[in-house]
Structure formats: C-alpha cells, structure tokens
Amino acid sequence: MASRSPWYYIIHWIRFYFGAHLLFSGIRYAATGYVPDIPGIGGEWVQANANIYLYQIIKYLEIITGAMIFFNRLPLLGLILEFPATVNIFWLNTVIVASPAMPRQYFTGPQELFLNGILLLAYSGWIFAAVKPKLEPLWLWDGAMAYKQDIGRRIVD
C-alpha cells in the first residue's frame, strides 16, 4: 500500500471538523431553538432573518451540508451550498458585530471562512469544468463522458 501525503490526512481532519461543527450548530438549533444573543444591528439582522424563516432554513441547511461534508457524501456540493452562509457569518462576526466585548466573534467568522475556503481549495480540482471558459452542453446522464479526453472540443459536422 502506497503511503499518502500528510495533506491527505490534514484535509480529512479539517473536513471532519467542519462537518461536525455544522452538524452541531444545526442540530443544536433544531433541538433547542437556540439563537445566539447578538448585540446591536447584527442582532437585529439575525432576528429579521428569523422573522422571515431564513435563519431556520440556514440552520436546517447546516444539518444537511454538515452531514454531506462529515460523511464524505457529495462533500463538494455541501461546501458550495454552505459557502454563502459562511460568507455571511464571516461578515456579520468580523465586520458588523466585532467588538472587544465579544472576542468570540473574532474567531468564529474567520474560522468558518478559513475551513470552508481551504476545503473548497482542496476539492477544487473536481470543479475544473465549471470554470472552463467554454463548454459544450453535457446532460447529467452523459456525465461519464466528462472524463474522456476529447469531450471539451467543439463538435464539428
């Protein structure tokens, strides 16, 4: 058996940690209805999201994406789906709410962005086709063709 790079183990540990973090956060909300008490305009924003059920949707999405990431089932899709919430958490904690009275905010936002970002980078080879400048249509049921060498060339009659 060939030995694996240390990065293989580091990335999997980060994946487990981030997935567990999301699962814990989502399940804690689902089980208790816990919404953190955030001072000022950040708290008003979170409460407004809760009033229109967006906060609840995000928490249940955390359960789904956390499970996808933790159990390594469609982890890239889970990371992509979680990224908008990650950016919101980063912005809210680091820019809007950040204060010496709440030092946890300085850790939470950057931690979320770092974990999601490093995992997206680690899995980015799988999204190569999504960032190619030109692609031909490829139906989902023909997806196996994406791994063939000439699939990206323009079809000529």
User: Does any domain span residue 140?
Assistant: no
Domain that residue 89 falls in: 6-127
Least confident of 12-16, 93-97, 103-107: 103-107
Structure tokens at 156: 């000529």
What's the mean per-residue pLDDT of the chain? 87
Say if residues 89 and 109 touch (Cβ distance below 8 Å).
yes
Q: Which of 69, 71, 81, 84 is nearest to 122 (CA)?
A: 69
User: What span, in angstroms and rounded, lies between the C-alpha atoms of 48 and 70?
Assistant: 30
Say if residues 24 and 57 touch (Cβ distance below 8 Å).
no
CA angle 52, 108, 83 (to 5 degrees): 60
User: What span, in angstroms and rounded, lies between the C-alpha atoms of 4 and 38?
Assistant: 43
Per-residue pLDDT reduced to its tens digit, 135-149: 778 888 888 877 776
Q: Which one of 59-73, 104-118, 124-138 scores highest in mean pLDDT? A: 59-73
Place of tokens 């080879």: 125
With 90 as the cut, is the pLDDT of residue 40 above it?
Answer: no
**Burial classification of residue 112, based on how many CB atoms lie within 10 Å of its CB (0-12 exposed, 13-18 middle, 19 or more buried):** buried
User: Does any domain span residue 145?
Assistant: no
User: What span, in angstroms and rounded, lies between the C-alpha atoms of 156 and 14?
Assistant: 45
DSSP state of 147: G
User: Does any domain span residue 35?
Assistant: yes
User: Does any domain span residue 26?
Assistant: yes
User: Does any domain span residue 137?
Assistant: no
User: Does any domain span residue 153?
Assistant: no
Is 107 or 115 the better-scoring residue by pLDDT? 115
With 60 as the cut, is the pLDDT of residue 155 above it?
Answer: no
User: Does any domain span residue 150?
Assistant: no
User: Whole-prediction pTM value?
Assistant: 0.83
Least confident of 13-17, 21-25, 45-49, 68-72: 45-49
User: Does any domain span residue 57?
Assistant: yes
Number of structural domains, the chain?
Answer: 1
User: What span, in angstroms and rounded, lies between the C-alpha atoms of 119 and 117?
Assistant: 5
